Amino acid sequence: MPDLVSPTGRDILVPATHANRGVQAAYRKRLDRLIDEMQRSIVYWIKATYRANTPELAQDESPAAALSKMMRNLARQWQRKFDQASRPVATRFADESMSAADVSLRDALRQKGFSVQFGMTRAANDVFQATVAENVGLIKSIASEHLQEVQGLVMRSVTQGRDLSDLSKDLEKRYAVTKRRAALIARDQNNKATATITRVRQQGLGIKQAKWMHSRGGKKPRQSHVEANGQLYDVDKGMYIDGAWIRPGELINCRCVAQSVIPGFEE
């Protein structure tokens, strides 16, 4: 694809490509569905085992042994389910986020008079595969972290002689933490995937410079990113911020975006 050049002789600023909120919401919904199913199963079996193995009723094994055995079985079952679901969920997310980014950039370029079509180039495929792989790992980690924490809560509850009511409250708090982490993953990965495919498309179009645009979102914005707002940077290298070369949207919780600069020429 030939490099884009402004026909006016002046640089053209292309509207920034923002992460698609619908893609983020859909990804979060799929993660939430897995988490909710896991949590319902955990709570059901913990309560059932807890009640069936109180000191007054336990005969064959101690309450601690019964709960420990139950949690090992649950952990294997739900880790396996998350492992199996991780690749199809991650692949669907990667496909949707990259498609949305392509549509957004294509429409932005059309507003400025440029008609382009994007295909699955080698660079774009590398981004796609990397996005899938990263999210497969993150999805698997949701289950492993949650199950490990729940196992700890259950065993501490037994050894400290706490009742089921207290344990239920702890489980609810842990559930909320896991849901917040899923929300962070959905938002952050959507921003990152959008930023990465946008950079690849910029490079494919021969766009050498972009303008850093701070999102003005978030409760605690990075001051260095606020100061970078409106500055030009090299698309290939990124901008040198806080000791590293980075691009908008690459760091965790970074919602900054890039405005592509199409260079002009003098006749």
Band (pLDDT 50/70/90 cuts) for residue 63 is: confident
Q: Is the pLDDT of residue 265 over 60?
A: no
Q: Give the pLDDT confidence score for residue 53 in this predicted structure.
A: 64
Q: Answer for the pair 97, 190: CB distance below 8 angstroms, yes or no.
A: yes
- Tell me the Cα Rg of the chain: 24
Question: How big is the CA angle at 255 (ends 207 and 251), to the nearest 5 degrees?
Answer: 85
Q: Answer yes or no: is 245 within a domain.
A: no
Band (pLDDT 50/70/90 cuts) for residue 210 is: very high
Strand pairing class (257-262; 12-13): antiparallel
Q: Is the pLDDT of residue 267 over 50?
A: no
Number of domains comprising the chain:
1
Question: How big is the CA angle at 126 (ends 192 and 116), to the nearest 5 degrees?
Answer: 80
Q: Answer yes or no: is 265 within a domain.
A: no
State the average pLDDT over residues 81-100.
98
Q: Answer yes or no: is 221 within a domain.
A: no
Phi and psi angles of residue 256, each rounded to the nearest 5 degrees, phi first = -65, 155
Q: Give the pLDDT confidence score for residue 191 in this predicted structure.
A: 95
Strand pairing class (232-234; 209-213): antiparallel
SS3 content of the chain, % helix, strand, coil (to 5): 60, 10, 30
Q: Answer for the pair 19, 190: CB distance below 8 angstroms, yes or no.
A: yes
Residue 24 CA: distances (Å) to CA of 97, 98, 203, 224, 258: 8, 12, 25, 26, 19
Q: Answer yes or no: is 68 within a domain.
A: yes
Helix axes 164-204, 21-52, angle to 10 degrees: 160
Q: Answer for the pair 247, 258: CB distance below 8 angstroms, yes or no.
A: yes
Q: Give the pLDDT confidence score for residue 221 in this predicted structure.
A: 80
* Domain hosting residue 190, numbered range: 19-206
Q: Answer yes or no: is 177 within a domain.
A: yes
State the average pLDDT over residues 10-29.
94
Cα(139)–Cα(45) distance, integer angstroms: 23
CA dihedral 112, 200, 251, 100 (to 10 degrees): 60
Q: Answer yes or no: is 152 within a domain.
A: yes
Q: Is the pLDDT of residue 56 over 50?
A: no
Q: Answer yes or no: is 50 within a domain.
A: yes
pTM of this structure: 0.89
Q: Answer yes or no: is 212 within a domain.
A: no
Q: Is the pLDDT of residue 111 over 80?
A: yes
State the average pLDDT over residues 172-195.
96
Residue 247 CA: distances (Å) to CA of 14, 39, 73, 232, 258: 17, 37, 44, 11, 8
Q: Answer for the pair 46, 167: CB distance below 8 angstroms, yes or no.
A: yes
